Amino acid sequence: MKPKLQTPIIIINFKTYLEATGTRAVELAKQAEKASKETGIQIAVAPQFCDIKAVAEAVEIPVYSQHIDPIKPGSSTGHVLAEAVREAGAVGTLINHSERQLKLADIDAIVKLANEKSLVSCVCTSNPPISAAAAYLNPDIISIEPPELIGTGIAVSKAQPEVVTSTLRLVRKVNNEAIVLCGAGISQGEDVSVALRLGTQGILVASSIVKAKDPYTIIREFADSAQ
C-alpha cells in the first residue's frame, strides 16, 4: 500500500548531482532522515534510479523515484519499470519534472500506473493552467516549479507569489485532495514559511540542499520553517 502522506512535506530531488550520487546519496538521505526525526516534518528523497535501493535500505524516510515509464513488464530495455523501483524500495515517483517532460497521455498513464503499483504520484508542472490540467488526472501531489527560477536562488514563493496562489485557486476548482507543493529557487527557511503561508503544503527542493557545504543545516532550517 502507499505510504501515508503527512503535510507539510519536503521532497529533496537529488537530480544527477555528483554530490548526491552513490555513497553520497546515502549520506544525504541520512541527513534528511535526521532532520525529519528531529522536527517531525515529513521529508522524502528522490535519488537516481541506481541509488534507490541503497538509499531505501539505509533510511526510513520515504524514497521516491525521479521518473517511471508508462510501460508494462517485458520488452522495454533501458526504461524504468514501476515494479522495479517499487521492489528497490521506492514508495513514490516524480512525474513530468521540467528536466524530464512527458506527453500529456503519458502523464495520465503513469499516474494510473503509480496508483496500481501503490506508488505516490507527484506531477511536476510549470505554470498555473498546466497545474490545473494535471489536477484533473488525480495525482497525489502536484508540484509547481516555474522553470526560469530553478537553480537561481530566487524563491518562487517570494518572487512570484501570484503563481503559487493562482495555482492553488485553479487546482482547487477541480481537485480538493491533491497535495500542492511549490519549488524553484527555495534557498532560505523564510522561502519555506512564505510558501506555506501562501497555502501550499510543502516544497520540492534540490540544489540549495544538494550543493550546500552542510546540507543538514539547510534541511533542518527548511524543516524548522515548515513547522
Binding site for its own copies (CB under 8 A): 13, 15-18, 21-23, 46, 48-54, 66-67, 71, 73-81, 83-85, 87-88, 94, 96-105, 107-108, 125-127, 129-130, 132-138, 150-151, 170, 173-174, 206-207
Among candidate residues 33, 67, 145, 221, the one labeled active-site is 145
Q: Least Å distance between CB 189 and its own copies?
A: 23
Among candidate residues 57, 97, 162, 177, the one labeled active-site is 97
Q: Which residues pair with 97 in a beta bridge?
A: none
Q: Least Å distance between CB 177 and its own copies?
A: 14
How far is C-alpha 120 from the chain's CA centre? 10
Give 60 or 73: the residue with its C-beta nearer to its own copies. 73
Nearest 5°: the CA angle 43, 227, 191 is 80
- Strand order across the beta sheet in which 120-125 lies: 42-46, 9-13, 202-205, 179-183, 141-144, 120-125, 92-95, 64-65
Q: Least Å distance between CB 193 and its own copies?
A: 26
The phi-psi region of residue 202 (left if phi > 0; otherwise alpha if psi is between -120 and 50; otherwise beta) is left
Rounded distance, CA 225 to CA 158, Å? 15
Give 72 or 197: the residue with its C-beta nearer to its own copies. 72
Catalytic-residue membership of 145? yes
Give 42 or 167: the residue with its C-beta nearer to its own copies. 167
Give 39 or 126: the residue with its C-beta nearer to its own copies. 126
End-to-end alpha carbon distance in the chain: 27
Q: Least Å distance between CB 103 and its own copies?
A: 5
For the chain, the residue count is 227
Residue appearing with cell numbers 546540507 = 215
**Beta carbons of 45 and 9 less than 8 angstroms apart:** no
**Beta carbons of 222 and 210 less than 8 angstroms apart:** no
Give 80 or 212: the residue with its C-beta nearer to its own copies. 80
Residues that are catalytic? 97, 145
